[in-house]
Amino acid sequence: MNAAAWLKRATKSALSFGEAPRIESPLQRFWSDFSESRLALIGLMLLTMIILIAIFAPLISPQNPYDLSQLDIMDSKLAPGEKSGAGHTHLLGTDDQGRDMLSAIFYGLRISLGVGIASTVFALAIGLFFGMIAAYFSGWVDTLIMRVVDIQLSFPAILIALILLAVLGQGADKIIVALITVQWAYYARTVRASALVEKQKEYIEAAKVLALSKTRILFCHMLPNCLPPLIVVATVQVAHAIALESTLSFLGLGLPITEPSLGLLISNGFTYLMSGKYWISFYPGLALLLTIMSINLVADQLRDVLNPRLKK
Amino acid sequence: MIYVHRIFTALLATVPMSLTYAVTSGAAAQTSTQAATKSAHARDISIGLQAAITSMDPHYHNVGPNNSTLRHIFQPLVAPDENQKLTPALATSWRAIDDTTWEFKLRKNVRWHDGSAFTADDVAFTLKRVPNVPNSPSSFATFTKPIIDVKIIDLHTIIFKTAFPHPLLPSDLTAVAIISKAVGEKATTDDYNSGKAAIGTGPYKFVEYVANQRVVVKANYDYWGGEEPWDKVTFKMLTSPAARVAALLSGNVEMIETVPTADISQLEKNTKFALSNKVSNRVIYAHLNQHQDKAPVFLTDKAGKALEKNPLKDLRVRKALSMAINRDAIVSRVMEGRAVAASQLLADNFFGTSRKLKPAKFDPEGAKKLLAEAGYPNGFAMTIHGPNNRYINDAAIAQTIAQFYSRIGIEVKVDTMPSSVYFTRASKLEFSYMVLGWGTESGEQGSALRSLLATYDTAKGMGVTNRGRYSNPAFDKALGEALVTMDDKKRESMIQRAAEMAMEDVGLIPLHYEVSTWATTKALKYIPRTDQYTLAMNLKLAK
């Protein structure tokens, strides 16, 4: 926290001097810390909007872009604002199959966020489990798990994902599996580091003296204290996962071509960039950019708020 | 939003050039030095090819791009012109003495690039080598197989005996490049790739071959056909369509083949470049799996349960599948007008095509009715398989077909994959509905019917690429008789009749004929070819 913010807080409490002292709940405190950055607030608003769009995509999209019978090849490559043969206006134009770009982007966000969040949650759980075990038991368990993590981290993520998808085949579930495989090692490493620190602390010793079970110590005492850094890593990783999913789709792996995600939409439009039909690539690209940017803004502020070193 | 659109459209007028620089920045230095030396070598030319040339051995790999490029160095006895009409090359004339005996008169005063004279010995040696090239991924033996005996009469007369009446022999021999006996006897495929054995009779001599990069040839000033307008020709393998266009725009090459359809309208407006195009001998079509009586794996009812009968064996279903496709929409929208709706396996004007056949009329209501009659009032579920890097816009075509089928109540999935994977799996008969293409090198519909629709029988060389395993004995008989009829007029009408039988039975679903497009700088003119070959011999200075 910077000096100005501290000053603000100090004056605020000085002004309220005399009133009954207000006690902030941890959540309230978290929020007031978080909302200090206007950029982060904008990011959060944007992200909320994107998430709402993703959730309600089937309700707000003018067209189901994945239902082939709703597409008409005669409406293909319409420019933004042009009317289709049936009289619908396509605000962002259509792609080379006559798919409404706006609907395709809404549905694409659904896939991107869905895949990103699902893979992160699972990878987090797996990473957490192995990281804690490695830190708590140390010895050969630690060595074994951490060497596996080392090997995993020494390969570029995109390479592993490419190979996995080539073997697994098409489908959103396969992409999630590939992304989990790629990501869990990051969490394992982060958790182990903070768990090693926590392990030294007195409350763990106290718990041991009380002869609590290992699982109870691990999951009820150590785990909550290891979470803050993980939350930060996880938010950043969601953005990574989304970018990785788009990269894979751009390369034509993962999802079937009749159900394009943002990456595949960009890739389809790539052919038409030189011929002036920019919108097939541009708007999905913009949507992807805004999504990843808003997540990163939120993640940045989360890191500042949750970092104990930056706390006064 | 519309405002944004206007700004973009204005901006984009300037974008292609800057993009071009980004794409070819690596070649930028090279381009500028080329520009500096260009005035000194106005007769040097670079051409961007769409596919990699896999070898300089003319008998190693029977594939269009190789055959096209090697035509500069090596020549066949009989060469097809730009319309695939046969013209004399190393043979000056040929005739059938009887049904199974052919006499070829060879050209006199032809010299190999190493200075030695070309004789009938070289032809006999070539025919012996063709079936015996080690590790050949796709052999030329198909073309020489019918010849069972070779007799050398004198230095410039040779006689071939065929096992059966084979009217297509001269046309088959257009694919067989003649090599020098003296050089070829000791040479391996590697010797051709290194250039040691790349000694031909053609208008250009071998200079350099770098796999996946380029082929360089220089003029053969002693060429029997007279001098060519170019001193040196560099063929660059630019397999990415965007990179190919960028290379042309930046002046890195003077000509490219297979202009991506998305870029054609932009290039047409650009006054610095000229386009030429021609309906090719390639048809894009769909093979329907009729191998088993049980439905194939990728064809089920809508709940995903296996069907008892194979719907594709029912003519009504095949007809419905053909009628449901709006070919004109594919041509105008997906192919941007660079295709012609197909009714058979070769475009009109080719030998053996029937004028009676017309592209199936787009009639989704009629298709629905036919499906209901066949016992599928609610349709079925099917996966369409196709390549995504072989034919012009192949993946988009598969998707568009899926669109049309979903309107007649068929639940469609689309799976496209790189051609290397696709063709292997297609040949194993894994798929139900396959989007494919076929270029007829002989320019005669009989050979396309033989490869794609005759009942599968590799021993007889019938239906070797019949991945749908369509089988119709009456058609087989009609075609078999046509293929051994020596009289051209009679044979043509027999092939036409066979084609009508197969097409009316919807043995496969023809979609469209590809139109090939070349782009050159304004100073040049390319005479377009139906066989999609890109030959420096067809490239002239524009007047």
Per residue in B232-280, pLDDT tens? 999 999 988 888 999 999 999 999 999 999 899 889 999 999 999 999 9
Residue B277: closest CA among B339, B353, B351: B339
Interstrand relation of B299-300 and B339-341 (parallel, antiparallel or unpaired): unpaired
A270 Cα to chain B: minimum distance (Å): 9
Q: ∠A68-A71-A77 over CA atoms, to 5°?
A: 130
The Cα–Cα gap between A109 and B77 comes to 61
Residue contact A79–B414, C-beta within 8 A? no
User: Residue A308: what pLDDT?
Assistant: 66
User: Residue B279: what pLDDT?
Assistant: 95
State the pLDDT confidence band at B29, using cuts at 50, 70 and 90: very low
Q: Which residues of B touch A (CB under 8 A)?
A: 1-2, 4-5, 8-9, 12-13, 15-16, 19, 241-242, 245, 260, 262-263, 265-266, 326, 329-330, 333-334, 388, 395-396, 398-400, 402-403, 405-407, 412-416
The Cα–Cα gap between B374 and B378 comes to 11
User: Residue A228: what pLDDT?
Assistant: 85
Q: What is the CATH number of the domain that holds A176?
A: 1.10.3720.10
Q: Residues with Cβ < 8 Å from B530, sequence gap 6 or more?
A: B82, B83, B84, B278, B279, B280, B281, B350, B443
Q: Quick check: B40 pLDDT over 50? A: no
Interstrand relation of B381-387 and B214-219 (parallel, antiparallel or unpaired): unpaired
Q: How many CA atoms lie within 13 A of A67 on its CB side?
A: 10
Residue contact A274–B414, C-beta within 8 A? no
Both tokens assigned to B145: 């197989």
Q: Summarize the confidence of residues B348-362 as an average pLDDT.
A: 94
Q: Quick check: B103 pLDDT over 50? A: yes
Q: Quick check: B153 pLDDT over 80? A: yes
Beta-sheet strands, E only, within B428-487: 433-439
Domain count, chain A: 1
Q: Quick check: B363 pLDDT over 70? A: yes
Q: Summarize the confidence of residues B448-467 as an average pLDDT.
A: 90
Distance of CA B89 to the CA centre of its chain: 21
Q: ∠B492-B495-B500 over CA atoms, to 5°?
A: 125
Cα nearest neighbour of A274 on chain B:
B16
Does residue A76 fall inside a structural domain? no
Does residue A86 fall inside a structural domain? no
DSSP category for residue A192: H
Residue contact B333–A279, C-beta within 8 A? no
Q: Quick check: B157 pLDDT over 90? A: yes
User: Residue A21: what pLDDT?
Assistant: 60
User: Residue B501: what pLDDT?
Assistant: 97
Does residue A89 fall inside a structural domain? no
Say which of A68, A81, A93 has its CB closest to residue B403. A68
Residue contact B12–A72, C-beta within 8 A? no
Q: Quick check: B338 pLDDT over 80? A: yes
H or E stretch at A29? helix A26-34
Q: What is the CA radius of gyration of chain A?
A: 24
Does residue A178 fall inside a structural domain? yes
User: Residue B24: what pLDDT?
Assistant: 42
Full-model pTM: 0.82
SS (H, E, C) A214-262: HHHHHHHHHHHHHHHHHHHHHHHHHHHHHHHHHHHHHCCCCCCCCCCCH
User: Residue A310: what pLDDT?
Assistant: 65
B342 Cα to chain A: minimum distance (Å): 19
- Which residues of chain A lie closer than 8 angstroms to B410, CB-CB? none
User: Residue B117: what pLDDT?
Assistant: 96
- Tell me the pLDDT tens digit for each residue of B163-202: 999 999 999 999 999 999 999 999 999 999 999 999 999 9
User: Residue B419: what pLDDT?
Assistant: 83
Does residue A223 fall inside a structural domain? yes
- Which residues of chain B lie closer than 8 angstroms to A287, CB-CB? none
B437 and B514 in contact (C-beta within 8 Å)? Answer: yes
Say which of A68, A272, A278 has its CB closest to residue B402. A68
| Among A68, A91, A278, the residue to mutate for chain B (most B Cβ within 10 A) | A68
Does residue A152 fall inside a structural domain? yes
Q: Quick check: B1 pLDDT over 70? A: no
User: Residue A9: what pLDDT?
Assistant: 59
Q: Quick check: B372 pLDDT over 90? A: yes
Higher pLDDT, B96 or B390: B96
Q: ∠A116-A121-A124 over CA atoms, to 5°?
A: 115
Q: Summarize the confidence of residues B513-539 as an average pLDDT.
A: 95
Residue contact A81–B5, C-beta within 8 A? yes
CB atoms within 10 A of CB B454: 26
Percent share of chain B, pLDDT over 70 = 92
Say which of A74, A92, A271 has its CB closest to residue B1. A92
B315 and B472 in contact (C-beta within 8 Å)? Answer: no
| Among A75, A77, A275, A277, the residue to mutate for chain B (most B Cβ within 10 A) | A275
- Which residues of chain A lie closer than 8 angstroms to B415, CB-CB? 170, 256
Q: Which domain holds residue A219?
A: 51-57+98-307
Please state, rounded to an integer, the average pLDDT across all residues of chain B: 90
- Which residues of chain A lie closer than 8 angstroms to B334, CB-CB? 73, 76, 96
User: Residue B39: what pLDDT?
Assistant: 41
Which segment of B138-152, B349-363, B503-517 scores lowest on mean pLDDT? Answer: B138-152
Residue contact B407–A69, C-beta within 8 A? yes
A44 residue type, one letter: L
The Cα–Cα gap between B543 and B531 comes to 25
B447 residue type, one letter: S
The Cα–Cα gap between B519 and A190 comes to 56
Q: Interface pTM (ipTM) of the complex?
A: 0.78
Q: What is the pLDDT along chain A (312 residues), one digit of tens a residue?
A: 455 555 555 555 555 555 556 677 888 888 888 888 899 999 999 999 999 999 999 999 999 999 998 999 999 999 999 998 888 899 999 999 999 999 999 999 999 999 999 999 999 999 999 999 999 888 999 999 999 999 999 999 999 999 999 888 888 899 999 999 999 999 999 999 999 998 888 998 899 899 888 888 888 888 888 888 888 899 989 999 999 999 998 887 878 888 899 999 998 888 888 778 899 999 999 999 999 999 999 999 988 888 766 654
Q: Summarize the confidence of residues B402-415 as an average pLDDT.
A: 94
Residue contact A258–B413, C-beta within 8 A? yes
Does residue A285 fall inside a structural domain? yes
User: Residue B112: what pLDDT?
Assistant: 96
Interstrand relation of B204-210 and B86-88 (parallel, antiparallel or unpaired): unpaired
A257 Cα to chain B: minimum distance (Å): 7
User: Residue A214: what pLDDT?
Assistant: 87
Both tokens assigned to B296: 């194939």
B359 Cα to chain A: minimum distance (Å): 19
DSSP category for residue B351: B
Say which of B19, B413, B415 has its CB closest to residue A274. B19
State the helix-helix crossing angle for A172-199 and A157-168, rounded to 10 degrees.
140
Residue contact B5–A279, C-beta within 8 A? yes
The full DSSP string for A90-144 is -TT-B-TT--BHHHHHHHHHHHHHHHHHHHHHHHHHHHHHHHHHHHHH-HHHHHH
Q: Quick check: B34 pLDDT over 50? A: no
Does residue A31 fall inside a structural domain? no
